[in-house]
Structure 1
């Protein structure tokens, strides 16, 4: 089978997250945990190393770091580099031209600031605004759906002026992509249900009539400003 070499084609990552400044892992099992979303302790201990992705990762990083293609050797060679140095070398090697960063996760205090990441990687780095984080922040402040709609519209009045190049939603994870226009009564009830659950300690926006209604506010602002809206699916 013919292999096509794409290494000279600049890459644009249109969905990525901030890179943590601290790239150190005390133990190899901690590093393995970065390659699974499972909270089950058996995953990094017993299973991550059996995946085809991880096995290929070890071989590729061994070439990159100039060491033996064994997990212990790769982990040791990686540990010798600090987070900034490692990030710089990896982004350059990947020929990354641009990064579009979802700033909703990880927490901003843990990652390189967006402009600094661009400098580290010698590439363009631009932030996207995570909508659900903004919505949840605003929902804590307003006592009616109408006030909330107005506040959200105001917060999104000048997206580019706030430094963002796009809006980002995780509605597909939360309530699905069948985004509807709901009767006002159902949207109001959903708003009050959210406020009740938030008051009980769960402020996660998983209330479909409410989220759909707020997304329509977002769509109107995005259309007016010709701002892209990205859905994570």
Structure 2
């Protein structure tokens, strides 16, 4: 059966819940601008991001949706994209992704990205979007507004509560992996420690939050907010120190926070096996392999998903694209997830390690139902 079997058909038709993503640009892009968004690194002289697995996947899978032949040359792709205009490109690619729910991290990116609502509108077909609040942005806004060191903890907590009470907010997020790494003291910092760290940070003019004590305070504040907590782990741009983003550094903190809020490990590559271990031994831990899937391309997504699901409980795997900037990533993330998971589950069915009804249920769980269970979406959220 394979690509034409019930698993492939089910996943191809399944309306996905993308539990972590970003907006896309609303202005036209020249080649340099488009290439800058194709990579987590940089567009170096003489090295085009089109000459990467994700660049090849764009030309293979996105080009036909823009009325181009498969594998259209890069220059033709960019020219056609510009000719159609950003709104039409976004409409075509987002609608083809087949995502019905977007959970949008609105805390990163310049002006000119779609809002959560605009992203869902471009996707069409009744798609809806919710917001994920990035807590480092809340803390940095508190510092910018002005606060005394001994008042910082309370003001930040109040600001965080105000942020999550806005309509449409379903989760919070931290980018501690970028700022400090996860190899932090897991204990909740004392009031005196927070005041001292805030004093040092504010004396430097605030700005980018990267103090280990204040990051610990942020993570513990997040637990108290009661919403799912998303944590970037693993793969990211060159601002990250990859070895410090291994989620197993969180083990002691997860012990201390057991029974509190769901902890959503985002992306994870190349630590998908470590994330799977944590999901297998901690009730509150969930994972996805977003971002990596469109960078490895549909052809290798199965391998990444296979490692992520070796020991992960089936109710703990979610879908995310982590698409940012260009709608191509929303399309490629969904395509890679659908095809990769279908191939993986089909192999297990063919070897009689999994029944077809079980495989179909797992497919629906991972693509949609697990996220709905954790985030508890409601029409009036």
CA distance in 2, matches of 1:84, 1:129: 26
Q: Which of 175, 178, 181 is the aligned partner of 1:170?
A: 175
Q: Which of 199, 205, 222 is the aligned partner of 1:192?
A: 199
* 1:15-44 Cα shifts (integer Å, max 9, x gaps): 11122211x123x233222112334632xx
Q: Which runs of 5+ in 1 are unaligned?
A: none
CA distance in 2, matches of 1:156, 1:204: 17
Is 1:10 aligned to residue 12 of structure 2? Answer: no
Q: Structure 1 residues 176 and 63, CA, compared in 2 at 3 Å: closer, same or farther? A: same
| SS across alignment from 1:18 | coil
Q: Structure 1 residues 62 and 20, CA, compared in 2 at 3 Å: closer, same or farther? A: closer
Question: Superposition pairs for residues 1-233 of structure 1, below 5 Å?
Answer: 2-3=2-3, 4-5=8-9, 6-22=11-27, 24-26=28-30, 28-39=31-42, 41-42=44-45, 45-68=46-69, 69=71, 70-107=73-110, 109-122=111-124, 123-140=127-144, 141-145=146-150, 147-163=151-167, 164-177=169-182, 178=184, 179-198=186-205, 203-220=207-224, 222-223=225-226, 227-233=227-233
1:19–1:112 CA contact under 8 A, matched in 2: yes
Q: CA deviation at 1:2?
A: 3.0
CA distance in 2, matches of 1:136, 1:210: 11
1:16–1:102 CA contact under 8 A, matched in 2: yes
Q: CA deviation at 1:92?
A: 1.0
Q: CA RMSD in A?
A: 2.2
Q: Structure 1 residues 159 and 33, CA, compared in 2 at 3 Å: closer, same or farther? A: closer
1:18–1:105 CA contact under 8 A, matched in 2: no
Number of equivalent positions:
220
| SS across alignment from 1:80 | helix
Q: CA deviation at 1:160?
A: 5.0
CA distance in 1, matches of 2:165, 2:197: 32
CA distance in 2, matches of 1:87, 1:51: 22
2:106–2:134 CA contact under 8 A, matched in 1: yes
CA distance in 1, matches of 2:164, 2:107: 17
1:61–1:74 CA contact under 8 A, matched in 2: no
TM-score by length of 2: 0.53
CA distance in 1, matches of 2:43, 2:47: 10
| SS across alignment from 1:162 | coil
* 1:92-112 Cα shifts (integer Å, max 9, x gaps): 1111111111111113x3122
For structure 1, which segment, 127-136 or 109-118, has the greater mean C-alpha deviation from structure 2 after superposition?
Answer: 109-118
2:152–2:195 CA contact under 8 A, matched in 1: no
Q: CA deviation at 1:181?
A: 1.9
1:181–1:212 CA contact under 8 A, matched in 2: yes
2:119–2:129 CA contact under 8 A, matched in 1: yes
1:188–1:210 CA contact under 8 A, matched in 2: no
| SS across alignment from 1:100 | strand
| SS across alignment from 2:21 | strand
Q: Structure 1 residues 65 and 214, CA, compared in 2 at 3 Å: closer, same or farther? A: closer
2:138–2:160 CA contact under 8 A, matched in 1: no
